[in-house]
Amino acid sequence: MPGIGDEMIYRVRDYAPSERVRIIEIIKQKKTPRYLVEIIGGEHAGAQENVPAGRLRGPWADAARYDALMANWERIDQDEPTDPEQAVIEQVFDLLIPTDIAEWEWSPVRFATRVHDHGALPQLIGITSDDLLAQAEGFELDDGDLMLSPDATLLIAEYACRISPMPVLNWVLEKEKDYRQKSKNGSKAVGPDKQPYTTSPEWEYQMYLEHGRPVHELLRAWCGQRAATLRERLGAAEAENRRLDELITELFEELKRLGHANTVEYLVRSYEADRITPANFRPVVDRPLKPSEIPVQYVKAPRRWGY
């Protein structure tokens, strides 16, 4: 904690110029103290101000280093991502980017990304940190971590979707199932007065149009048309398989009711034995058997008279 007589860095705002001030009084308060400071040098030299602790940014001896750091933060502090882009960043990082490799941050620049492991990140997104810096702003911190701008954060999310699209598309499918149910029946909620109520299907559908669909469309675009189509085909095949399985079960029950229990038992055994599953769909390539491993088969030859 700074004391009386200390010379400090003073900034009115994050990106305002640094001013040199001296603390002349500490004003005690219940939460955090305030400071009465005197400005040293410049056109306001000698002026006194009552300032909160947050405006004192460190000892004046560190002013050059601090100014360089804040210049870098200002350089990457670009326009914030849109609401759908923010939702996409949060979801993709949660699904695909471990926090010990990289994580997006809220402060001082919203949705800037801190890269902890430069070597592991390319395995997740397919490009290196240098490739990212060629497309967006960033800088290296004293501890070796790399800070990237919000534009670079969007690139990380997009490239990660291209490398690993299936977890993202699975999440989209589950969310759309949830939205579909809510758009049919509404959803239970609790109001500000703590009273439970049910939202209307019309309201839920409007929420989907405004918030859900833009996010899902962006994720599908990033995952690519081929991956999205493949996921839809797989989903359709699984759904059709369940439908046919239920239909066959009903047919077996009907055959039992008509008195064909033995036939049904045979058909069930055959159906289960020949079922195509992920475990047996892929062809298994076995090594050739050694002569000692080939089972011996004895064949009785017909006796030939006269020889």
Read off the pLDDT of residues 86-112 as tens digits, 9 standing for 90 and up.
Answer: 999 999 999 999 999 999 999 899 999
**The pLDDT of residue 268:** 82
Q: What is the mean pLDDT of residues 279-290?
A: 65
Percent of the chain with pLDDT over 70: 92
At residue 221, what is the residue type?
A
**The pLDDT of residue 282:** 59
Q: What is the mean pLDDT of residues 279-299?
A: 72
At residue 219, what is the residue type?
L
Q: Are 63 and 7 in contact (CB under 8 A)?
A: no
Buried b (16+ CB within 10 A) or exposed e, 141-173: eeeeebbbbbbbbbbbbbbbbeebbeebbebbe
pLDDT of 229 higher than 80 = no
Q: Are 145 and 116 in contact (CB under 8 A)?
A: yes
Q: Domains of the chain: which residue ranges?
A: 7-62, 76-163, 230-270
Q: Order across the sheet with 146-148: list the strands.
A: 102-105, 112-115, 146-148, 138-140
pLDDT of 278 higher than 70 = no
| CB-CB neighbours of 42 under 10 Å | 11
pTM of the model: 0.72
For 133-185, the DSSP string reads HHHS-EEE-TTS-EEE-HHHHHHHHHHHHHHSHHHHHHHHHHHHHHHHHHHHH
Residue 298's pLDDT band (boundaries 50, 70, 90)?
confident
pLDDT of 166 higher than 80 = yes
Read off the pLDDT of residues 109-165 as tens digits, 9 standing for 90 and up.
Answer: 999 999 999 899 999 999 999 999 999 999 999 999 999 999 999 999 999 999 999
Residue among 229, 223, 234 at smallest CA distance from 88: 223
End-to-end CA distance of the chain: 115
Residue 10's pLDDT band (boundaries 50, 70, 90)?
very high
Enter the DSSP assignment of 212. I
